[in-house]
Amino acid sequence: MLQDKLKEGIRDGPEYAGTVTKYVFIESNHTTPDDLALHAYELAAPVMIKETCFGLQVTGDPADVEAVIARIREVDPSHIFVKDRGFPPGDARRCRANMGGARPGYFGHEAEAGVLRYVSYGLQRMYHGDSLSPSELEIIHPKERVELSNERLLEIFNRDA
């Protein structure tokens, strides 16, 4: 159990071996990380919950974390996004409390956060039971890339020669 591991304090081996850590991102006008933390604590599950500016980090045994995540998702299903994290929170190799300065990483999250609102809108409509025809789905698929023909390549060569 995670609680037993926490009581052991500093150990020689890797920290929190056998546990999983999940990021919970909240992108909502109505729900704050504080709300999520309260719902997570209500379960009294044996997990470690860290509240952050973007949501939560939940660490514990896989089944416990899954139970907490399932409960949290109910709060605002369309605006809560969850992903795995490799490192446990506070890991000395990643935590800026030890490193100083800005924490490296989060660039991908920052970039994807810009389109989360569109995904949330799509999720809302999906939960509402709306559907799309196959032709309407095409707008999100990448367009076929047209290969450069030999003639066009020669044309470019001759033009630049």
Partner 1 sequence: MNVYLKYSIVMREIMAKVFIYPTTSLILSDMVERLGHIPLGSALSVRDTVQQGGVEGIDSPPLNMTPDDAKRGLKWAAVEVPPGVRGRMSLLGPLIAEAEAAIIMDEPLAFGCMGCARTNELATFLLKEADIPVLELNYPQTDDEGFAFVMAIKEFLKGLEGGEQKAGDGNE
CB of 12 to partner 1, least distance (A): 8
Q: Which is nearer to partner 1, 45 or 48 (CB)?
A: 45
Per-residue x/- marks for partner 1, 127-146, CB under 8 A?
A: xxxxxx---xxxxxxx----
Q: How far apart are CA 90 and CA 86, in angstroms?
A: 12
Q: How far apart are CA 46 and CA 7, in angstroms?
A: 13
3-state helix, strand, coil in the chain (%, to 5): 45, 15, 40
105: contact with partner 1 by CB under 8 A: yes
75: contact with partner 1 by CB under 8 A: no
111: contact with partner 1 by CB under 8 A: yes
Residue with tokens 């389109």: 115
87: contact with partner 1 by CB under 8 A: yes
Taking CB under 8 A as the criterion, the residue among 52, 66, 75, 90 binding partner 1 is: 66
Q: Which is nearer to partner 1, 52 or 119 (CB)?
A: 119
Taking CB under 8 A as the criterion, the residue among 16, 37, 49, 89 binding partner 1 is: 16
- Give phi and psi for 32, each to the nearest 5: -115, 165
Interaxial angle between packed helices 33-42 and 62-73, expressed in degrees from 0 to 180 and rounded to the nearest 10:
130
56: β partners: 24, 51
CA 141 centroid distance within chain: 23
54-108-111-119 Cα dihedral, nearest 10 degrees: -70
Can you give the binding site for partner 1, defined by CB under 8 A?
12-14, 16-21, 23, 25, 42-45, 63-64, 66-68, 70-71, 73, 77, 81-88, 91, 93-94, 105, 107-109, 111-113, 115-123, 125-132, 136-142
